[in-house]
Structure 1
Amino acid sequence: MSTAPDLQTAAAVINTARAMVDTAIQTLIAKGGPDANQTLAYDIAHVAAAIETSRGLLEYGAKGTVEGNITCAFTADMVHDFISRLIGREKLWGVDPSGLSSAHDFVQTYREPAFLASLADQQGPRHLGDEFEMVQDTFRSFGAKVIAPQAEHVHRHNGDVPEDVIAGLAEIGAFGLSVPVEYDGFSEGGEGEYMASVIATEELTRASLGIGGSLITRPEILTRAL
């Protein structure tokens, strides 16, 4: 029998984890802040990011069974990671780990190896609009045709990014995704520009992180800083 998603429990688990992190943040402040407690600060930041990602996935999970199961699997993994960081450091965190005991059955269900294996060969529906589908197709095609054939050689020989990769990305507008249109870029503001950047980065990373995905994040960071 296939496992059905349980988004109601996922949401409850996320809320419990969030409340525990909020308590830990107050503990961190009382102990002198991040500079005085870097290990705790790092763990809190890591867990908090995973919690908010889980929360963001709830809307996606409501779109269908596959989407829901992906959401539950990620949430269960978030809880497992949270517990692994918390056990043995309860006093440091200032929280009671038993607060997550109610999530045991949920984690057991959605971290079960056979369940996770059943998701491995399923492409999670992306629910992209036509404009973003075009972004996806453009960057996926470039990654497959131009980046992927050269990636292994560059990695193994610590080579420079090939000029045809740089020139090709410039030609399809990769370095102008966050540049405002009044400066000859493609950004018109709004959440859409972030989505386009995420999709482009993901598709280029599919071909290579080193000479693909990470290559366009540098100008993105610089542009937003300016």
Structure 2
Amino acid sequence: MTADAGLTVTEPDIQAAADALAVGNAALSRACSHAVGMGDDHQCFLYDLAHTASALRICDSLVAWGALGDAEARLACGFIADALGEFHARLFAREAQWGLAPGALDDARDFVAAYRDPAYVATLAGLDAPSHLDDDFELVAETFRRFGEDKIAPAAEHIHRGDTDIPEDIIGGLAELGCFGLSVPEEYGGFASGSESDYLGMVIATEELSRASLGAGGSLITRPEILTRALERGGTEEQKKHWFPQIATGETMVAVAVTEPD
């Protein structure tokens, strides 16, 4: 396979991806053990550690997904190589802080070099891999994709360039589709049943809306999702009864305030 005339591109190799990922996971495990007991004085390092751990957990799932077909394998190899490359960038010249020796990721170097190569990455542009979703989730994806194309995409540039409020017809339309209640428990007027499918439905809807605009589409779901999870775990029953129904219908829009390290 070639990206341009005369330019040879590496074929995907899921076993090589799994082997390289094992190197990354071993280093991550040692770093996590090293981090036990660290507190506020190490916020920046702990942030990098958490970010890396999240990325490698995604890579773990992509190994199995990448075995489903050629397109899946190509995307999986590219993502895993990029995640390991980012891990190395965070680690470089800071190995002691991570509790690792220099060269902890060296055994993954050849894999990262091959699948982070610009020629390989160029082959991923526009690659269409099957979703492997069941019929119900395919319907969720189609519904929110159509809404994004019809309602959000035409307004997205104006919203971003003018820093304007999101139009009420977008908020109202998403409320009618039930998107604000995707993470709200059923007993409080939402659609969450407590199963893992709740998360998948939210992720699919967020992804499809973000195709049109992250700021004017996808983030409208993530904010209530974050608050809902926090309120479900730490809120009182009175708070849940008061806020959950309002969040589910879109009557009350929520925001999230996050502090940065230091």
- Same fold? TM cut 0.5: yes
Cα displacement string for residues 21-70 of structure 1 (whole angstroms, at most 9, x for unaligned residues) = 222223233xx503122222122112111111111111110101110111
SS in 1 for 2:25: helix
Q: Does 1:221 align with 2:226?
A: yes
Q: How far is the alpha carbon of 1:197 from its aligned partner? A: 0.5
Q: How far is the alpha carbon of 1:97 from its aligned partner? A: 3.2
Structure 1 unaligned segments of length 5 or more: list them.
none
- The alpha-carbon distance between structure 1 residues 16 and 139, as it changes in their structure 2 partners (threshold 3 A), is same
Matches within 5 A, 1:123-202: 123-202=128-207
Aligned to 1:18: 25
- The alpha-carbon distance between structure 1 residues 84 and 146, as it changes in their structure 2 partners (threshold 3 A), is same
Q: How far is the alpha carbon of 1:105 from its aligned partner? A: 1.6
Matches within 5 A, 1:75-154: 75-154=80-159
Aligned to 2:41: 36
Cα displacement string for residues 83-119 of structure 1 (whole angstroms, at most 9, x for unaligned residues) = 1111211222221232322212211211111111111
Larger helix share, 1 or 2? 1
In 2: Cα distance, 1:112 partner to 1:182 partner: 50
Range moving further from structure 2, 196-205 or 16-25: 16-25
Matches within 5 A, 1:56-71: 56-71=61-76
Give the partner amino acid of 1:195.
L
Q: TM-score, normalized by length of structure 1?
A: 0.92
Cα displacement string for residues 110-161 of structure 1 (whole angstroms, at most 9, x for unaligned residues) = 1111111111121222111111111011001111111111111122222111
Structure 2 unaligned segments of length 5 or more: list them.
2-8, 233-262
Aligned to 2:248: none
In 2: Cα distance, 1:221 partner to 1:99 partner: 35
In 2: Cα distance, 1:158 partner to 1:113 partner: 34
Give the partner amino acid of 2:19.
A
In 2: Cα distance, 1:134 partner to 1:198 partner: 14
Give the partner amino acid of 2:98.
W
Aligned to 1:4: 11
In 1: Cα distance, 2:99 partner to 2:191 partner: 47
Cα displacement string for residues 155-183 of structure 1 (whole angstroms, at most 9, x for unaligned residues) = 22221111101110111111111223343
| 8 Å CA contact retained: 2:184, 2:192 | yes
In 1: Cα distance, 2:186 partner to 2:49 partner: 38
- The alpha-carbon distance between structure 1 residues 203 and 41, as it changes in their structure 2 partners (threshold 3 A), is same
Task: State the identity %.
Answer: 52
| 8 Å CA contact retained: 1:187, 1:193 | yes
In 1: Cα distance, 2:182 partner to 2:195 partner: 12
Q: How many residues align?
A: 224
In 2: Cα distance, 1:189 partner to 1:33 partner: 33
* Off by >6 Å, runs of 4+ in structure 1: none
SS in 1 for 2:105: helix
Q: How far is the alpha carbon of 1:196 from its aligned partner? A: 0.8
| 8 Å CA contact retained: 2:23, 2:107 | no
In 2: Cα distance, 1:207 partner to 1:5 partner: 30
In 1: Cα distance, 2:116 partner to 2:88 partner: 14
In 2: Cα distance, 1:91 partner to 1:180 partner: 45
In 2: Cα distance, 1:56 partner to 1:71 partner: 9
| 8 Å CA contact retained: 2:159, 2:165 | yes
